[in-house]
């Protein structure tokens, strides 16, 4: 029932979070699925592992009480679907750009959109942007990151920012988005512009361009990049990010932005003033 103890312990020590499939392939390859499942049930009953999401388990360190053990929510979420890409506010967290905490973990996936309850909190699956699906470019702008010795797939900084501007509702709101954008210190301006342009969304391009222009000196933005974005911006003023249609359009970009969006503050303090 307990199987080769050494093999199981080596696996658990190197896999803080793992899937049922990973366990079977490593610990009991070639054995019936029922044998692998019996091993999982045994170690779950002994408190060595916890079933944390459908098909996903977490290794419990030997010195901890399983009932009080909280596995890494990002690792857990990353293992639920094979095509899952950590994105939106979760990606902001991974890149050190988030200002608020979130109990929800967000992933892009080709599967059914929706929220799933897990032991580590809600996990929300979001459909890949339609423009990328049409081009079969769903994985463009994604990177592999190390998380406690395991690989996770996430959107890179440039794509994360474009995704969040397009979907501020998945970012924690406009204020969170503004503070995240204001905290960017360095990134690939050309990639950011490219990711904005392929979305076939004039309003998105206008917001991205207006923000880049506001940071053109410290982010070393080339005038040619701004000109290319301006050519794809709205031809007439449009409200963006929930702003009032009667507001003032950003000159050259034809997007009406919320007040102070390009010069945000965090609880009354500019992000540069924060410790």
Residue 213's H or E segment, with its range, is helix 202-214
List 156's β-bridge partners, or say none.
none
* CATH architecture for segment(s) 5-68: Orthogonal Bundle (1.10)
- Closest C-alpha among 207, 171, 26 to residue 93: 171
The answer to whether 47 touches 23, Cβ cutoff 8 Å, is no
- The tokens for 78 are 């990353």
List 114's β-bridge partners, or say none.
125
Record the pTM. Answer: 0.90
User: Which residue has 């794509």 as its token pair?
Assistant: 159
Query: Count of CB atoms within 10 A of residue 101's CB?
Result: 8
pLDDT of residue 5: 64
Domain ranges within the chain, ordered by starting residue: 5-68, 73-273
Q: In whole angstroms, give the CA distance from residue 113 to residue 107.
A: 10
Q: What is the pLDDT along the chain (275 residues), one digit of tens a residue?
A: 445 567 888 999 999 999 999 999 988 888 888 888 999 999 999 999 999 999 999 999 988 998 889 999 999 999 999 999 999 999 999 999 999 989 999 999 999 999 999 999 999 999 999 999 999 999 999 999 999 999 999 999 999 999 999 999 999 999 999 999 999 999 999 999 999 999 999 999 999 999 999 999 999 999 999 999 999 999 999 999 998 877 678 889 999 999 889 987 655 444 444 44
pLDDT of residue 268: 47
């Amino acid at each position: 029932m307990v199987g080769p103890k050494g093999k199981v312990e080596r696996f658990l020590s190197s896999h803080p979070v793992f899937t049922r499939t990973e366990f079977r392939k490593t610990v009991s390859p070639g054995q019936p699925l029922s044998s692998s499942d019996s091993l999982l049930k045994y170690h779950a009953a002994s408190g060595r592992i916890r079933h944390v999401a459908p098909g996903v388990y977490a290794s419990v360190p030997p010195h901890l009480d399983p009932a009080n053990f909280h596995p890494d929510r990002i690792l857990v979420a990353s293992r639920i679907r094979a095509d899952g890409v950590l994105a939106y506010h979760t990606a902001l967290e991974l890149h050190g750009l988030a200002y608020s905490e979130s109990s929800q973990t967000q992933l892009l996936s080709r599967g059914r959109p929706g929220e799933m309850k897990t032991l580590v909190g809600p996990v929300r699956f979001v459909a890949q942007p339609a423009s990328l699906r049409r081009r079969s470019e769903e994985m463009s702008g994604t990177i592999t990151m190390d998380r406690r010795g395991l690989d996770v797939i996430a959107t890179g900084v440039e794509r994360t920012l474009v995704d969040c501007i397009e979907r501020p509702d998945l970012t924690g709101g406009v204020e969170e988005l503004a503070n995240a954008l204001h905290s960017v210190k360095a990134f690939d301006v050309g990639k950011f512009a490219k990711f904005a342009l392929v979305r076939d969304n004039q309003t998105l391009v206008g917001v991205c361009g207006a923000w880049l222009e506001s940071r053109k000196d410290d982010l070393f933005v080339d005038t040619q990049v701004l000109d290319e974005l301006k050519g794809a911006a709205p031809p007439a003023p449009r409200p963006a990010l929930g702003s009032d249609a009667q507001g003032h359009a950003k000159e050259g970009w034809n997007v009406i932005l919320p007040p102070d969006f390009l010069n945000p503050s965090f609880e009354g303090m500019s992000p540069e003033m924060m410790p």
